Structures are given as C-alpha cells and as structure tokens.
Structure 1
C-alpha cells in the first residue's frame, strides 16, 4: 500500500513539473513545436516499450480511435496548456487545472452513459465556484493576454475530460499502454500539422537549460509518470487512487514559488482550494462502488 501511494504521489510531482517546464519554455519554443517535439520523443519511447514487451501496436487497425484520442489528449490538451502558460504563471494554470475532474464528470453521462450521483454534481458546482473565484480574483492590472491564457487552460481541461472518458470507452478492447502510444503517435501528427505556416526559425530560442526541460517533459512527465500512476492504481485500487490527482495543482504552486519565484494571491489560493475540495467530493468513490473505475492521466 505504501509503495503504491508513493508511486501515485511521484506521478503527480512529475506532472506538476510539466507546468513549470511549460512556463520556462514559453519564450524558447512555440507551443505547437514544443508539443510536437515532446510527443515525438515520447512516441519513440512508448513504441520501444511495446516492442520490448512483445505487444502489438494496431496503429492502422485502430487508427480512428487513436486519431480521436491523439487530438483531444495529446494535441489539444497539451498545446492549449503550453499556449496558456505563455501569459499565466504555472501556479495559476495549475490551480485552474484542478477543474479537470469536473470536465471528466460532465462528459461521462454523454459518452459512457453512466449515471452521476447527486454528491458528484454538488462537488462539480463547488469546483466551478472555485474556478470562478480564481479567475475573477486576478489583479486588476491583468492584461487581455492573461484572460486568453485562462480560457486556453479551461479549454485544455475540457479536452482532457473528453480524452479520459474516451479512454474508458476504448479501454474495453485495448490496454492503457497501447492507447497512450497510439494517442501519442497521432497526437504528434496533429501537432506537426499545426506547425505548418505558424512556426519559423526566428521563434526558436533554445539554450542548454531549455533542452533539458524538453527532455524532462518528453520522458519523466510523459512516460515515467504514466508508469508510476498505472502501477500505483494497480496497487491501491482506482477508488483510493483517483483523489490523488488533486495533488497536481498543489505541486504546481509549490514548484512555481520555489523554482520560478512566482507569487500566489489570496484569491488564487482560495479559489484553488475550493476547486480541489469540489473535485475530491465529485470524484471520490468508496472502493466497493468503483472497483473497476480509475483515472488515467498523461499531462
């Protein structure tokens, strides 16, 4: 049990670092190019892991599923995150992302036809109130670009919500590793296509530290975090594992303050706490009610 909890916490720490790197890389690489490089490297690694485990990679047979998963979970989610981090602090972006479980909740009845209990809807309302406080609580001198950034992060939450429920839907015929590898491959293609006509060499300002950040998001924040989370869920069960995802915004704030020197306003902190409380209330299930339910993330 302790090892499983440690792996879940490690995964959220690694994902929190993705926001820090995204903020750090904002002036170094266009968001679409960063996402293409990140998931291109991740695809090679995941493909190698599949081959090592002698698993088939139905890249053509399941192309429709992978194309959709790649669009929402790799291209839309990650690109919108990196776009938002151009004008928002990592701390604020992480706090807004605490609403991801609510996005998952909203899409579940439509895609999976699952019934949502009243407790979950109450938690959803609480989280929405928290996000509203967080956004409205920004300083009066906030620029128009920061508002666009907040919208981009909110849209990334919706993209991840759709991706997660589709994972559960397609998971009936594929294992998580295969789905992640397929989504990574097609998501890289989506990202590469989005670079056409929007990226030129004058927008690239890479340094040694920037390349290290790219390596981090392509390996630790993608592949290693995925395996840590999957192993942790297997050890403690999906019901006990799901609330741990709400550690992500906490780590993001901690890292933002310590590594990037960011400051967190009282309104941002209050809104984030309310959002997290609502998300925990909305997503937590007792073990006997959710033996087969879990939450997958590859932020």
Structure 2
C-alpha cells in the first residue's frame, strides 16, 4: 500500500514539474511546436514499450477513438496549458487546474450516464467558487495572471476532464498503455498540423536548459508519470487513488515559489485553497 501511495505522489510531483518547465519554455518555443516535440518523443517511447510486449497500436482500426482522445488529452490540453503559461504563473495555473476533478464530475453523467452523489456536487460548487476567487486576485501580483491565460487553463481543465471520461469509456475495449500511445500519436499529428503557418524560425530561442526541460516534459512528465500513476492505481485502487490528483496544484505552488521565485497574492492563495478543498470533497 505504501509503495502504491508513493507512486501516486511521484506521478503528481512529475506532473507538477511540467508546469514549471512550461513556464520556463514559454519564451523558447511556440506552444504548438513545444507540444509537437514533446509528444513526438513520448509517442516513440510509448510505441517502443508496446513493441517490447509484442503488441501493436491499432492505428487505423481504432482511429476514431484515438483521434478524439488525442485531440482532447494531448493536443488541446497540453497546448492550452503551454499557451496559458506564457502569461500566468505556474503556481496560478496549477491552482486553476484543481478544477480538473470537477470537470470530470460534470462530464461523467453526460458521457457515462452515471449518477453523481449530492456531496460531489457540493464539492464542485465549492471548487468553482475557489476558481472565481482566483480570478479576483489576478492583478494582485506581478506576472501572476491574465484573463486570456486564466481562460486557457480553464479550457485545458475541461479538455482533460472530457478526455478522462471518454478514456474510461473507450478503456473497456483496450488497455491503457495502447490507448495512451494511440492518443499520443494522433495528438502529435494535430499539434504538427497546428504549426503550419503559425511557427517561424525567429520564434525559436532554444538554450541548453530549454533542451533539458523539453526532455523532462517528454519523458518524466509524460511516460514515467503515466507509468507511476497507473501502477499506483493498480496497487491502491481507483477510488483511493483519485484524491491524490489534488496534490498537483500543491506541487506547482511549491515549485513555482522555490524554483521560479513566483509571488502569490493572498486572494490567489485563498482561491486556490478553496478550489482544492472543493475538489477533495468531490472526489472522496
């Protein structure tokens, strides 16, 4: 049990680092190109893992499912996050992302036709109030928030919520590794197409540290975090694992303050705490 919990914590920690790298890479690469490079590397690694198991990715047979999941979970979610991180702090982005469990909650009865308990809806309302408070504090600290950046992160959370719910639906007919690899492949294609006509050579400003960040988001924040999370879920169970996703905004705040020296306003801290509290109530 302790090993499983440790793996869940490790996964959220690695995902928290993705926000820090996204903030650092904002001036180095356009969001669409960064996402393309990141997931192209991840796709090769995931496909290699499947190949080692003597398996294959049903690229054409499951194209519709892969295309939908790739658009939502790889292209939209990641690109919107990187766009948002160009104008808001990593700490703030992480706290807004506390709304991801609420997005999952909202889409569950629509897609899966499952009943949601009243306690979960109460948690959703509390979390939404927290996000509203976050928006109120957007101008309280330098480079902390912008309306466009906040909106991009909210849309990213909604995309991930729908991706997660659809993934549960499609996961009944394929294993999670194959599903992730297929979504990664199609998401990379969407990202590459979005670069056409929008990316110019003069927009690329790579440094040695920027390359390190690209390698981090392509391996540790993608493949390793995915493996750790799924291994942890398998050990402790999905129900007990769900609340641990709420550690993500905590890590982003800690990393943002310690590594990027970000300043957080009191209103933002209050809003983030309320959003996280609501998410915990909704997932317990």
Measured against the shorter chain, the TM-score band is over 0.9
Kept in 1, the 8 Å contact 2:142–2:263? The answer is no
| Partner residue, 1:249 | 249
| Partner residue, 2:8 | 8
Kept in 1, the 8 Å contact 2:140–2:265? The answer is no
What's the CA shift for 1:266?
1.0
What's the CA shift for 1:141?
7.8
Taking the TM superposition and a 5 Å limit, the aligned residue runs for 1:17-36 are 17-36=17-36
**So what's the TM-score if we normalise by structure 1?**
0.93
Taking the TM superposition and a 5 Å limit, the aligned residue runs for 1:206-225 are 206-225=206-225
| Partner residue, 1:172 | 172
Structure 2 residue matching 1:139: 3-state secondary structure: coil
Distance 2:193 2:260 in 1: 32
Answering whether residue 91 of structure 2 is matched by residue 91 of structure 1, we say yes
What's the CA shift for 1:142?
7.3
Distance 1:20 1:234 in 2: 28
Distance 1:272 1:174 in 2: 36
Distance 2:19 2:200 in 1: 24
What's the CA shift for 1:194?
0.3
Distance 2:276 2:175 in 1: 29
What's the CA shift for 1:239?
1.1
Deviations for 1:134-168, whole angstroms, at most 9, x for unmatched residues? 1112225878x811000000000000011000000
**So what's the TM-score if we normalise by structure 2?**
0.98
| Partner residue, 2:154 | 154
Structure 2 residue matching 1:279: 3-state secondary structure: helix
| Partner residue, 2:265 | 265
Distance 1:32 1:101 in 2: 25
What's the CA shift for 1:192?
0.3
Structure 2 residue matching 1:27: 3-state secondary structure: coil
| Partner residue, 2:283 | 283
| Partner residue, 1:118 | 118
Deviations for 1:60-112, whole angstroms, at most 9, x for unmatched residues? 10000000000000000000000000000000000000000000111111110
In structure 2, runs of 5+ residues without a counterpart are none
| Partner residue, 1:82 | 82
In structure 1, runs of 5+ residues without a counterpart are 285-299
- Range that drifts further, 44-53 or 131-140: 131-140
Distance 1:35 1:3 in 2: 31
Aligned residues: 284
| Partner residue, 1:293 | none
Kept in 1, the 8 Å contact 2:141–2:265? The answer is no
